[in-house]
Structure 1
Amino acid sequence: MTLLIVGIVVVVLILFWFATYNSLVKYRNWVEESWAQIDVQLKRRYDLIPNLVETVKGYAKHERETLEQVIEARNRMFTQGNSRNDEMEANNQLSAGLKSLFALSESYPDLKANQNFLMLQEELTGTENKIAYSRQSYNKTVMAYNIKVQSIPTNIVASVHGFTRREMLETPAEERQNVKVSF
């Protein structure tokens, strides 16, 4: 009878271990899939930017510095060897450059009325919204994964199999400051 009880306990522990491991794999894959969604949107924006820059070039020849900053930030986006944090930092710099580029349209009424520019601006705005949503989704998925990895008894299985905590994406400090609005 004792042998049967010990056998049942061992089988239950093995089943628990397998279920916990599979659960951790599922959460880790959800984190990777969430990052891939961000990557897809960043790539979409990366592909749209040359068209926008070419459209603006025709109207704003002397605004070369702004255009070069946008192109440089775009090129840093997918530099080989970048970590996720490096990619997001380049993403933040690119967002700032795009804001400057869109601000240029205020100085050039013909550019502001150009259909290509308006279409590209709308597509980039939509892409920016998708990037923001994807970042939120990523952080939510990472939070669920981190809770799983750090909770008892799952943390035992996680540490044995090398599942580690992931970092969430954060807003840079300069973007957390209150925006000064003056009329």
Structure 2
Amino acid sequence: MIYLVYGQLYLYKQLEEKGGSLVLGFAIILGIVIVATLLIWVVGYSVLLKFVTRMETRWQRIMHLLSRVERSTNDFLATLDQYGKLPAGTTESLEKVMEDMQDPANERGDQLHAFGILNDRITFLFEQIDADEDLNDPELVEISEDLNTTLTLLETASQSYNYAVEKYNKSLTVIPTKYVANVHQFKPQLMLDETVHRLSSSDHAI
């Protein structure tokens, strides 16, 4: 009888030790999983922030160039007006376009669409100047060169921005950034050429 009691106590002690080991092992594994998950989360969020920062920095470059276009355009219109070569209503209509171009409340594609309209109208005015032999002002030539330089810079900046958007959008489809993006509501962004094409092919007009 005594041997049976001791045997039962021994078995209970063994089971208790094994149970404690299992609990400890489970706790260790759970801790490792939690730490690994947190590390992956932090890395994924940092990567997303890096792409967003890069994208926003390049957009700010575009906005700076658009401001430069607006200043040059105002100088250009003022000079044409001095010579009486500015068609009636041109300043008012282009001011509305430039306002839309610079309005941060508009979508980025809308802003670039407004710039496209401005660019077309300025190009038309330049063609009229070239055809006017009586108008040969060095200031107009200088403004024209400045605008052309800015347009080239804008093209390069737009390509750079699109590249950043492409990298950002790709990060939303791969692990671990995919899961982080879903939780924190990171949304895909349209590239500029896609947005402008969408607007120009619709009935939208500025």
Q: TM-score range by the shorter chain?
A: 0.7 to 0.9
2:145 is aligned to: 122
User: Does the 8 Å contact 2:55/2:164 carry over to 1?
Assistant: yes
Q: What 5-or-longer segments of structure 1 have no aligned partner? A: 177-183
User: Does the 8 Å contact 2:63/2:102 carry over to 1?
Assistant: no
2:97 is aligned to: 73
Select which of 71, 85, 89 maps to 2:109.
85
Which shifted more, 71-80 or 14-23? Answer: 71-80
Superposed CA deviations along residues 24-73 of structure 1, whole A, max 9, x for unmatched, are 11111111111111111001111111111111223353633555544442
Superposed CA deviations along residues 132-170 of structure 1, whole A, max 9, x for unmatched, are 111101100000000001223321111101111111111
Confirm or deny that 1:164 pairs with 2:187: yes
Confirm or deny that 1:143 pairs with 2:192: no
Structure 2 CA distance, aligned partners of 1:69 and 1:11? 60
Confirm or deny that 1:99 pairs with 2:123: yes
Structure 2 CA distance, aligned partners of 1:157 and 1:82? 28
Output the amino acid matched with 1:63.
P
Give the alignment's Cα RMSD to 1 decimal.
2.4
Larger radius of gyration: 2
Q: CA deviation at 1:22?
A: 0.9
User: Does the 8 Å contact 1:66/1:101 carry over to 2?
Assistant: no
Structure 2 CA distance, aligned partners of 1:166 and 1:76? 20
User: Does the 8 Å contact 2:97/2:115 carry over to 1?
Assistant: yes
Number of corresponding residues: 175
Structure 2 CA distance, aligned partners of 1:133 and 1:82? 22
Q: CA deviation at 1:17?
A: 0.8
Partner SS state of residue 102, structure 2 = coil
Select which of 56, 73, 84 maps to 1:49.
73
TM-score (norm 2): 0.75
TM-score (norm 1): 0.84
Q: Quick one: percent identity of the two aligned structures?
A: 29
Output the amino acid matched with 2:77.
V
